[in-house]
Structure 1
Amino acid sequence: MKVYYKTEDEIALMRESADLLGRAHAEVAKNIKEGVSLKQLDKIAEQFIKDHGANPSFLNYGGFPASLCMSLNDVVVHGIPNNYELKDGDVISIDCGVYLNGFHSDSAYTYPVGNVAPEVMKLLKVTQECLTLGIQQAKLNNHIEDIGYTVQKYAETHGYGVVRELVGHGLGRDLHEKPEVPNYGKKGRGLKIKDGLVIAIEPMINLGTRGIVQDADGWTIRTRDGKPSAHYEHTVAIHNGETEVLTTFKYIEEVYKF
C-alpha cells in the first residue's frame, strides 16, 4: 500500500482547493429550497468552480456524469442529479470535490429541506457529530481504525446502521488515494498516522440497518430498507504534529439556516 505523504507546500495548495470547495458548497446551499431541481444545483456548482479557475473533481470521474453527488432521502451516496425538484421534508446529501493547483479536496453536507421529521433531524445531527468525533481521532500516532471505531461506536449507540462497503480515503493529486478510512473498526488497528497524511473522513450513517443496494445506473447507492441516510465529510491533514481540517462548513452555515 503506497501512501503519498504531503509536504507543507502541498498542504498549502490543498488548503486553497479546500477553501474554494467550501465556497462552492455555499453557492449551492443558497439555492436549496422547495421547487429547485437537482440539475439546477449541479449546474450552479459546476459554473462557480470553473469561474474560479478550478475543475469539479467528480465530473467525468470514472464516467460520473455530474459535478455533484446528490443523494436524496434513502440514497446513501453517489446519486446522479436529475430533474427531481426538492420537496418539503426531503433530506439531501451534497458531495463535491474541487481540483485546483494540481490537488483535490472533498467534502459533503446533508441538508434538511423545509419541515423534516424529528427522527431524521436527529440522524443528521448525530452523523455530523460522528464526523467531529472521527476527526478528533485523526491525530499523530493514532491508527486509521481508531477513527472508524469511534464513529461506529457513537452511531450504533444511537441505534443507527453504519455503512461498511463505502469508506473514506486518502486524497491529493488523485481523488482517491490510500489509505482507506472505514467508518468502523478496532482500536489500534490499521495504518499509523504520521505527519503529511491527508484523508477524507466521511461517515455514512443510516436511520435503519446498515444494508445497502445499488441502482441499475451503476452509481446510486440506497439503503436496503428504504430509510433515510446521512453523510458528512471533511478533508483533514495531519502536519507539524497537529490535525487541521482543510475543508470548512462555515460558508454553508453563514447562508443556510434551518
Structure 2
Amino acid sequence: MKIPSGPLAWYFYTSILEARMVELKTASEIAAMRTTGAFVAQVLDDLQARARVGVNLLDLERRAREMIAERGAESCYWDYAPSFGRGPFRNVICLSVNDAVLHGLPHDYALRDGDLLSMDMAVSIDGWVADSARSLIVGTPRAEDQRLIEATERALAAAIDAARPGDRLGDVSAAIGDVAAAYGYPVNTEFGGHGLGRTMHEDPPVPNVGRRGRGLRLRPGLTLALEPWFARGTDKIVHDPDGWTLRSADGSRTAHSEHTIAVTDGAAAILTAAA
C-alpha cells in the first residue's frame, strides 16, 4: 500500500532528513524482516497459483487471511486508516484489476480471461514488517499487458540495482523514471514507495521519478519498499466510490511491482524474494 509523495515536497523533505535520524536496521533486524518477507512471498505465490478464470477476489482475500492466521502474522492493512483512504481498511490484501492499480478493495468479482491483477500485501511478524506487490495476467495474456508488467519489473530491478551505499535516494527514483520513459509510460508522482521496518510506513518516501545526486544518502541498514507502478496511458488517477481503489483516469490498464529491500555494503538485499 502506497503513501503520497509529491516530488517537490520530497526533495525538500529528504534534504531535511540528512540531519534527522532515519532508523538503520542491524543485521539481526534485517534477518527478521527477511523472515517476514519470505512469508509475504509465500502468500503471493499461493494466491498467484489460485488466480484463475472464475476465481472470486473474495476467495483470494479469504485465503490470505487464512495463511496469515496460521502463521501467527499480523496484517498491516487491517484497520489502516490514513488520510487518503476511507478507513478503516478491513481487508488483508489489496487486489486491483485492470485499470485499478492501487489500494484495490477486494469485492465480489470473478476473474475473467485476460484480466490483469495486481496484488499488494504487507504483514508484520514478531514486530518486523515486509511489503511486496506483483502483477499477473489471468488466462490469455495480451501483449500490451505483458509489456506493461515487464516495465514495472524492469523498473524495480533498476531501482534495486541503484540502491547502493553512498549513492542518493534520487538515484533510485531516477532509475524507475528512466525505465518508464524508455517504455513510453507516464509516471504518477502522487504515490510512491517508502521506508519500513517496525511499521509499514517509515521515512523516507521514495517517489517513482527523481533526479540523480539528490536526496538522502543511502547507508547500510536502510530498509525500503520500492514499488514502481505505471498506467499505460496517463499519470492521473481517480478514486472509486469505495473510497480506496485508485484507477487510471483514462481507463487504461495498470501494473505494479514491489519488493522490500535492505541497503548493504554492496548490492541491495531483496527481503521479499520468492523462494
TM-score (norm 2): 0.88
Structure 1 moving runs of 4+ over 6 Å? none
Q: Using the aligned pairs only, state the percent identity.
A: 38
Rounded Cα–Cα distance in structure 2 between residues aligned with 1:158 and 1:20:
32
Contact residue 100 and residue 246 of structure 2 kept, 8 A: yes
1:115 paired residue among 116, 140, 147: 140
| Structure 2 counterparts to residues 130-209 of structure 1, below 5 A | 130-209=155-234
Query: Which residue of 2 is the match for residue 11 of structure 1?
Result: 30
Rounded Cα–Cα distance in structure 1 between residues aligned with 2:34 and 2:146:
30
- Could you list the runs of 5+ residues in structure 2 that have no partner in the other structure? 1-16, 82-87
| Structure 2 counterparts to residues 62-73 of structure 1, below 5 A | 62=81, 63-73=88-98
Query: Which residue of 2 is the match for residue 35 of structure 1?
Result: 54
Contact residue 8 and residue 239 of structure 1 kept, 8 A: no
1:91 aligns with 2:110: no
Displacement, 1:241?
4.1
- Could you list the runs of 5+ residues in structure 1 that have no partner in the other structure? 252-258
SS of the residue aligned with 1:180?
strand
Rounded Cα–Cα distance in structure 2 between residues aligned with 1:133 and 1:102:
29
1:235 aligns with 2:254: no
SS of the residue aligned with 2:153?
helix
Q: Give per-residue Cα distances to partners, 1:124-156, cap 9 Å, x unaligned.
A: 111111111111001111111111111111111
How many equivalent pairs are there?
250
**Aligned-pair Cα RMSD in Å:** 1.1
SS of the residue aligned with 1:122?
helix
Displacement, 1:239?
2.6
SS of the residue aligned with 2:159?
helix
Q: Give per-residue Cα distances to partners, 1:53-102, cap 9 Å, x unaligned.
A: 21122122221110110111001200100010000010010001121010
TM-score (norm 1): 0.94
Rounded Cα–Cα distance in structure 1 between residues aligned with 2:215 and 2:117:
32
| Structure 2 counterparts to residues 42-53 of structure 1, below 5 A | 42-53=61-72
Rounded Cα–Cα distance in structure 1 between residues aligned with 2:266 and 2:224:
15
